Amino acid sequence: MIKKILVLLLIFIPINANALIEVDITRGNLNPLPLAVSPLSIDEESRKGFEKILKKENIGSEISNIVENNLRTSGLFNPLDKKAFLQAPDIANLKPRFEDWNLIKAQALITGKVNYVDDKLRVEFRLWDVLAAKEMMALAFTTVPNNWRRVGHIISDKVYERLTGEKGYFDTRIIYVSEEGPKTQRIKKLAIMDQDGANNKFLTLGNELVLTPRFNPASQMVTYLSYFKNMPRVYLLDIETGTQEVVGDFPGMTFAPRFSPDGKKIIMSFAKDGKSDIYTMDLENRIVEKITDHPSIDTSPSYSPNGKYITFNSDRSGYQQIYVMKSDGSDVKRISFGNGLYGTPVWSPRGDLIAFTKLHKGKFYIGVMRTDGSGERLLTENYYQEAPSWSPNGRVLIFYRETKSNSKGEGFSAKLWSIDLTGYNERQIKTPTDASDPSWSSLLSN
Amino acid sequence: MRLYKILKNTLLVLMACLALTACATKKEVSNVQGQMQGDVYTGTDTVEYLADGVPDRVFFATNESILTTASRETLRAQAGWLRKNPSINVVLEGHADERGTREYNLALGERRANAAKDYLMTYGISSDRITVLSYGKERPVDSGSNPLAWSKNRRSVTVKAN
């Protein structure tokens, strides 16, 4: 389904007029921009056509609900209540009466139209600057009807990009570990869902323990740790075909896998005789390289987006700290020097920051620091949380959080949370079961 | 006079409360103290036996993989039992508590199980008979979130493989 890439038609070139609205994303949700998402208009024939195929009464409203929800949860926008809208969707899309939208304090307006054409879904939408009374963008898409949710996400991405100047992150998926059962016998399955929690699907049955799935930034491949046959090994999974294979031929536990930014290598730890070192394996020629060689524990490696550096976690100083080295293993430098232990470093897709987990005085923090270790900023403090993963635009982090249990093990839960890089807009991402180890995909439509 | 009486009663109630709280706290501390030394578990309620007098597990301090005196004693007993039963192979399962990042804990579990393996080997057990398997923090024996529970979970368990 994902492979059916949307056809993108530019019907108008975006007009770059002066003084159009802009959203300052560095300030978080202090002042979310009020905007109106008018339901996409739909003619009766098209409405009936889609109702038959998709079992949705009004696909136009459904798509605009997705857009509205995405923009709201970003924390940067405040979609206004539809009940206050004065103009009907079809007329608004032709020519909005800006005074009406101004009256309800909308600064931006999204309108659009849905058609059923040759068994396909055709959607056009427009973004308007209400104060300047101007059209900012107009786009149309044609795709198979089943892709309707993705259309909503792509519209959200386009609006986000036009208003903030940065790429969006809505047409993406999250892979994670679903958790069920008592703590002492937790059943864990790989699961995948859209970024907004829709289309949740389990990828393994729970027969063996699975941990730490990570997306290939360049494709729909996933690498993860499985205890298949009670041997903890790094595996590669194609989520389109379901085929999987073990990575490399190591005489012991391999773990903590991630892809290189070009998707051609897997970097991971291999544990032997009480020490863990970092290795890479080239997925084309299967050549294995040892990157670190130290009696300590070296783990949680993550490449810089240009592939030239690796950040990782080591206890060579006596305690868990974060290090950066060149991708051939040379020039190892410790970068974390604050109080406490530091783990799970992960390089931002923008290249400028490293996100991490910090343990200090019995509390766990998710934070970010520059790649030389300066400018440490803690975004959130809790009883237990770890494993941040970046949204593809590097603005949001997703991680998991566990609650304390009493002496009988009651009260325990594991949930996915996200937080803005600014430290604002912390929110739980709903999953059908308990969840951990989230990994964010790249934009699907790129 | 009446005011004095009220005050006196309040004071009595207060004192009783204080005494009770003190009691409860004291009891808990001594309980934990009886089962932990430093933060290494020294109790027996999760321990199983491979044979008479041969405990199956050893415990570790937070973030450590150093064997305590008691652990070395346990492992010497295991080595003796393995020498008497040359056909038995074992898996050493290394574990960590829940207060650490998942990936580091996988490595730490492996390091703990290897500390036990090395000790068994110095007492004459061939490495061919020993497999090491780390579960990190994935398989706690005690699901509580408290220092005593965590101390029980920081362990290396010797399990018969055949």
How confident is the model over A154-180, as a mean pLDDT? Answer: 97
CA angle A218, A220, A225 (to 5 degrees): 100
pLDDT digits (tens, 9 = 90+) for B45-84: 999 999 999 999 999 999 999 999 999 999 999 999 999 9
Name which of A395, A401, A400, A399 is nearest A443 in CA terms.
A395
How confident is the model over A387-395, as a mean pLDDT? Answer: 97
* Banded pLDDT at A445 (limits 50, 70, 90): confident
User: Is B31 in CB contact (< 8 Å) with chain A?
Assistant: no
How confident is the model over A397-426, as a mean pLDDT? Answer: 95
Q: Residue A191: beta bridge partners?
A: A176, A202
User: Is B104 in CB contact (< 8 Å) with chain A?
Assistant: yes
CB contact at 8 A, A88 and A14? no
* Banded pLDDT at A371 (limits 50, 70, 90): very high
Greater confidence, A26 or A315? Answer: A315
Contacts of B4 (CB under 8 A, 6+ apart): none
Q: For chain B, state the CA radius of gyration.
A: 22
The answer to whether ipTM exceeds 0.90 is yes
Q: Which of A184, A275, A408 sits opposite B139 (nearest CB)?
A: A184
Contact B139 A253 (CB under 8 A): no
Greater confidence, A271 or A409? Answer: A271
Greater confidence, B6 or A242? Answer: A242
Asked if the model's pLDDT at residue A41 lies above 90, the reply is: yes
User: Is B120 in CB contact (< 8 Å) with chain A?
Assistant: no
Q: Do B60 and B1 share a structural domain?
A: no
CB contact at 8 A, A201 and A240? no
Token couple for A410 = 């009651």
Q: What is the pLDDT of residue A316?
A: 97
Pairing of strands B36-37, B130-136: unpaired
Name which of A366, A316, A326 is nearest A345 in CA terms.
A366
Q: Do B57 and B33 share a structural domain?
A: no
Contact A212 B108 (CB under 8 A): no
* Banded pLDDT at A1 (limits 50, 70, 90): very low
Residue B121 to chain A, least CA–CA distance (Å): 12
Residue B130: closest CA among chain A residues belongs to which residue? A273
B 135-154: CB under 8 A from A? 138-146, 149
How confident is the model over A147-156, as a mean pLDDT? Answer: 96
In this structure, of A23-37, A114-128, A301-315, A337-351, the range with the lowest mean pLDDT score is A23-37
CB contact at 8 A, A431 and A419? no
Q: What is the pLDDT of residue A218?
A: 87
Q: Which residues of chain A neighbour B155 with C-beta distances below 8 Å?
A: none
A 217-236: CB under 8 A from B? 225, 230, 232
* Banded pLDDT at A174 (limits 50, 70, 90): very high
Asked if the model's pLDDT at residue A310 lies above 90, the reply is: yes
Asked if the model's pLDDT at residue B23 lies above 90, the reply is: no
Rounded Cα gap, residues A302 and A32, in angstroms: 33
Q: What is the mean pLDDT of chain A?
A: 92
Q: Which of A319, A386, A409 sits opposite B143 (nearest CB)?
A: A409
Name which of B153, B32, B38 is nearest B97 in CA terms.
B153
Contacts of B55 (CB under 8 A, 6+ apart): B44, B47, B48, B49, B74, B77, B78
Residue A342: closest CA among chain B residues belongs to which residue? B101
* Banded pLDDT at A291 (limits 50, 70, 90): very high
CATH code at position B54: 3.30.1330.60
Q: Give the amino acid at A250.
A: F
**The domain containing residue B63 runs over which residues?**
38-160
* Banded pLDDT at A409 (limits 50, 70, 90): confident
Q: Do B47 and B23 share a structural domain?
A: no
Token couple for A156 = 């959200």
Percentage of chain B with pLDDT > 90?
A: 78
How confident is the model over A113-127, as a mean pLDDT? Answer: 94
Asked if the model's pLDDT at residue B26 lies above 50, the reply is: no
Residue B138 to chain A, least CA–CA distance (Å): 8
User: Is A254 in CB contact (< 8 Å) with chain B?
Assistant: no
Contacts of A404 (CB under 8 A, 6+ apart): A383, A384, A411, A412, B145
Q: Do B110 and B72 share a structural domain?
A: yes
Q: What is the mean pLDDT of chain B?
A: 86
User: Is A336 in CB contact (< 8 Å) with chain B?
Assistant: no
Q: Do B29 and B88 share a structural domain?
A: no
* Banded pLDDT at B20 (limits 50, 70, 90): very low
pLDDT digits (tens, 9 = 90+) for A245-256: 999 989 999 999
Asked if the model's pLDDT at residue A18 lies above 60, the reply is: no
A91 three-class SS? helix
Contact B144 A252 (CB under 8 A): no
Percentage of chain B with pLDDT > 70?
A: 80
Contact B106 A232 (CB under 8 A): yes
pLDDT digits (tens, 9 = 90+) for A188-200: 999 999 999 999 9
Q: What is the pLDDT of residue A28?
A: 53
pLDDT digits (tens, 9 = 90+) for A54-78: 999 999 999 999 999 999 999 999 9
Asked if the model's pLDDT at residue B17 lies above 60, the reply is: no
Contact A184 B140 (CB under 8 A): yes
User: Is A273 in CB contact (< 8 Å) with chain B?
Assistant: yes
Asked if the model's pLDDT at residue B28 lies above 60, the reply is: no
Q: What is the pLDDT of residue B31?
A: 52
- Confidence (pTM): 0.90
How confident is the model over A131-139, as a mean pLDDT? Answer: 94
Q: Residue A221: beta bridge partners?
A: A238
Rounded Cα gap, residues A224 and A246, in angstroms: 10
Q: What is the pLDDT of residue A407?
A: 87
Name which of B31, B37, B58 is nearest B46 in CA terms.
B58
Q: Which of A276, A386, A409 sits opposite B110 (nearest CB)?
A: A276
Rounded Cα gap, residues A304 and A310, in angstroms: 6
Q: Do B80 and B24 share a structural domain?
A: no
How confident is the model over A128-148, as a mean pLDDT? Answer: 94
* Banded pLDDT at B148 (limits 50, 70, 90): very high
Q: Do B107 and B85 share a structural domain?
A: yes
Q: Do B2 and B59 share a structural domain?
A: no
A 292-321: CB under 8 A from B? 297, 299-300, 313, 315, 319-320
Q: What is the pLDDT of residue A220?
A: 80
Asked if the model's pLDDT at residue A232 lies above 80, the reply is: yes
Asked if the model's pLDDT at residue A3 lies above 80, the reply is: no
Q: Do B155 and B105 share a structural domain?
A: yes
Helices B102-122 and B69-84: crossing angle in degrees, nearest 10, is 60
Q: What is the pLDDT of residue A91?
A: 87
Q: Do B23 and B11 share a structural domain?
A: yes
How confident is the model over A31-54, as a mean pLDDT? Answer: 94
Q: Do B150 and B70 share a structural domain?
A: yes
Asked if the model's pLDDT at residue B112 lies above 50, the reply is: yes
pLDDT digits (tens, 9 = 90+) for B89-105: 999 999 999 999 999 99
Query: Which domains are seen in chain A, by residue range?
Result: 7-164 (3.40.50.10070), 173-440 (2.120.10.30)
Contacts of A38 (CB under 8 A, 6+ apart): A64, A82, A85, A87, A89, A92, A93, A109, A110, A111, A112
Q: Do B43 and B2 share a structural domain?
A: no
pLDDT digits (tens, 9 = 90+) for A198-220: 999 999 999 999 999 999 988 88
Asked if the model's pLDDT at residue A79 lies above 60, the reply is: yes
- Positive or negative, the CA dihedral A170, A174, A179, A184 is negative
Asked if the model's pLDDT at residue B161 lies above 60, the reply is: yes
Residue A232 to chain B, least CA–CA distance (Å): 8
What is the count of structural domains for chain B? 2
Phi, psi of A168 (to 5 degrees): -85, -170
